[in-house]
Amino acid sequence: MSTRKTTYREALREAMSEAMRRDPRVFLMGEDVGDYGGCFAVSRGMLEEFGPERVRDTPLSESAFVGAGIGAALGGMRPIVEVMTCNFSLLALDQIMNTAATLLHMSGGQFNVPLVIRMATGGGKQLAAQHSHSLEGWYAHIPGILVLVPATLEDARGMMATALACPDPVLIFENQTLYNMEGELADEAGPVAITGAKILRGGRDLTILTYGASLWKSLAAAATLAGEGIEVEVIDLRVLRPLDDATILESVGRTHRVLIVDEGWRSGGISAELGMRIMEQAFYQLDRPVARLCSAEVPIPYAPQLEHAALPQVETILAAARELIHGHE
């Protein structure tokens, strides 16, 4: 199998460009996606190839252009809407939750909304409190949508085509620290499933459930722990709605210990949902209570030392894992 070197950003651009070449109904819209090439340079060069009808710069009004995307989807198009950062998606929450997520139900099954919304999420780039939060767990609370969190090049490249083929709204959260991530991608890389978690490292002593940028921190911690004789199973959740209970519970049955690493806040977050599902379905498989490591419950700071301290890091994952294995020794 031949591979090529690429980045997460380039994989996303390639996926969108391929979709637009294949299907004339697909178009991209959002703030600065055209002339500027995207706030995170994901759409750079796409305006030149596809023109302003299919790469549309929008006014700075998230509610307006997400609403326009919903209308286009209802009209038979396949829009990709970029909302820049997930903090700003809250300005379009009415459109997402009260319209896109509910129309199929409220129309008695007559109107699907095949809409894809992309947004950056997460901290670690010194973009301060209005551009750095992880709100994907909030959206995972809403019936009627799918919530995807690609962490690998394969998923960045492959989730888009599958999302565009989905008849329902799909939200894709791209951790902004991953855009520059380099790696090898198979030449024939194509669509991937947008259901199901994936075990990226097998283990027998502890399961780490995570997603996004925290996946790579968790894998680094697992490599260190292997040198201490602790074999950690690392699961990339990939999809926060619907969650893959089967893969999670099978892993709990093997390792009997669970650490959830989530860049979102602890209170009311996706980590609580994961922990409760394990308690409901696998309580007697556990040797220790489910543990979780989340971001500090503060607006994400600008200062680099404070931002680093606010987010899960390899060192804090290591400490939490050792506590689960060794207790207070």
Read off the pLDDT of residues 182-195 as tens digits, 9 standing for 90 and up.
999 998 888 999 99
pLDDT beyond 90 at 107: yes
Confidence of residue 328 (pLDDT cuts 50, 70, 90): low
Residue in 204, 203, 271 with CA at minimum distance from that of residue 237: 271
Distance of CA 16 to the CA centre of its chain: 17
Q: How confident is the model at residue 1 (pLDDT cuts 50, 70, 90)?
A: confident
Spot the catalytic one: 62, 174, 233, 263. Answer: 62
Sign of CA dihedral 176, 177, 180, 183: negative
Q: Any idea which architecture 3-186 has in CATH?
A: 3-Layer(aba) Sandwich (3.40)
The per-residue pLDDT for 48 is 97
Higher-confidence position of 73 and 329: 73
pLDDT band at 126 (very low <50, low <70, confident <90, very high): confident
Residues 6+ apart with CB under 8 A from 279: 290
Q: What integer pLDDT is reported at residue 187 of this predicted model?
A: 86
Decide if 131 is catalytic.
yes
The residue from 10, 31, 82, 131 that is catalytic is: 131
Percent of the chain with pLDDT over 70: 99
State the CATH architecture for 198-326: 3-Layer(aba) Sandwich (3.40)
For residue 34, give both structure tokens: 């055209």
Specify the pTM: 0.96
Domains of the chain by residue range: 3-186, 198-326
